[in-house]
Amino acid sequence: MAIGVDKRASPLTRAPGELALVVPQRRGTLRRVSLDYDTAMAFIASIPEGRWTTYGDVADAAGNRDAALRIGEWLLDSGGSIPLYWRVINSKGKVPGGFIASTPGLPANPVEARDRLGDEGVAFDGERASERCRYTVEEWRAAGCPSGC
């Protein structure tokens, strides 16, 4: 499933930090979605030490739960410049095999990311992070959206 930027969308119709995307739907139809990356960064910044979250929860915080893949691409494209990026993993609780970053002193690959999460207190059952350590968008909203909403 390919996701593309809607270049026809006017920047005047979007809030700062928001990007309009075109997402393929069933039967070949397209739907325009947007994500607020400032809110996504605020959610990621609020993940407590010893906790992890999913790409889907970040996408939900950013305005579209269906854009989890785009959030993963955005984090990958950031090269590690988004604080606490290693705390965002897949919904199965696994650090994805394609995890890479280039920020000195921070996790640069899946093994380092998993080790860092473990050092921060995330419990693992084999390769999967414990569900009880998961930080959800619902928790964030219930707490009044620390770091922004």
| CATH number of the structural domain spanning residue 41 | 1.10.10.10
Based on the number of CB atoms within 10 Å of its own CB, is 60 exposed (0-12), middle (13-18) or buried (19 or more)? buried
Query: d(Cα 121, Cα 95) in Å, to the nearest integer?
Result: 15
Asked if pLDDT for residue 117 goes beyond 70, the answer is: yes
Helix-, strand-, coil-residue percentages of the chain, each rounded to 5 = 40, 15, 45
- 149 found inside a domain: no
- Range with the poorest average pLDDT among 6-10, 64-68, 79-83, 111-115: 6-10
- Does residue 50 belong to any structural domain of this protein? yes
Least confident of 32-36, 55-59, 125-129: 32-36
Closest CA to 49 of 101, 131, 116, 146: 116
- 65 inside domain: yes
Q: Tokens standing for 136?
A: 């959800």
Assess if residue 58 is contained within a domain: yes
Burial 10-37 (b: 16+ CB within 10 A, else e): eeeeeeeebbbbbbeeeeeeeeebbbbb
pLDDT, position 75: 93
pTM of the model: 0.77
pLDDT of residue 14 exceeding 50: no
Question: Is 80 contained in some domain?
Answer: yes
| Residue 49: domain span | 37-142
Per-residue pLDDT tens digits for 16-44: 454 544 444 455 555 566 899 999 999 99
Confidence at residue 139, expressed as pLDDT on a 0 to 100 scale: 95
The one-letter code for the residue type at 9 is A
Query: How many domains is the chain partitioned into structurally?
Result: 1
- Give a yes or no: residue 32 inside a domain: no
> Tens digit of pLDDT for each residue in 42-55?
999 999 999 999 99
Q: Is residue 23 domain-resident?
A: no
Is 131 among the domain residues? Answer: yes
User: How many residues belong to the chain?
Assistant: 149
